[in-house]
Structure 1
């Protein structure tokens, strides 16, 4: 995939995450700044989604750890354990928010 295509796909992913958080009614602040989307919770906790352009990966940083995802056959898959991006994001946001959150890619 070209860098332009990766940037387009990752920007679209950031917007979808932001919309899903709004739709879920979670009390969070969501800020997109350059290559980073920060989700901040009432207790000061954060989940960060970062696009790493050189490797064409999406990264999630959360209290439970860091996760790297590459696009394979149209799906964002974790390099470490094969987990899917949406499932991982759902899990870490739910844990941080103390409420159910579901994000589907």
Structure 2
């Protein structure tokens, strides 16, 4: 994957996270505060816990830090998949955000 392809795909992930937060806040009372600074999005939950998602441009990866730990994702041609087997990015983000929000939440890629 070229640097430009990586940036296009990775930026789409960050945009999807932001749009999912907007949708979740409209549909639930999760009240997730999301803030983007450059290639990083920080999700802050009511209990003060955070999930940080950031781009790692030199490695062509997306990193996610949650209460349970840190995760690295690479694009496999179809999905952003964890490099150590934790699964697909949006499914994993949904699990982590649900745990931190205390209610079931679903994050999904842009259509």
Q: Give 3-state SS (helix, strand or coil) of 2:9's partner.
A: helix
Residues 1:7 and 2:17 aligned together: no
Aligned pairs, number: 105
Shift of 1:104: 2.4
Distance in 2, Cα, partners of 1:83 & 1:12? 19
Give 5+ residue unaligned stretches, structure 2. Answer: none
- Tell me the CA shift for residue 3 of structure 1: 1.1
1:8: how far off? 1.6
Q: Distance in 2 between matches of 1:53 and 1:96?
A: 27
Structure 1 or 2: larger strand share?
A: 1
Q: 1:67 aligns with which of 58, 71, 86?
A: 71
TM-score (structure 1 length as normaliser): 0.93
Structure 1's unaligned 5+ residue stretches are: none
The CA deviation string for residues 32-52 of structure 1, in whole angstroms up to 9 with x for no partner, is 111211001122110001110
Q: Normalising by structure 2, report the TM-score.
A: 0.88
Backbone CA RMSD of aligned residues: 1.2
Quick check: 1:29 aligned with 2:17? no
What is the Cα deviation at residue 73 of structure 1? 1.8
Q: Is the 8 A contact 2:35 2:42 kept in 1?
A: yes
Mapping 1:1-105, distance limit 5 Å: 1-25=1-25, 26-81=30-85, 83-105=87-109
Structure 1 residue runs of 4+, over 2 Å off?
Answer: none
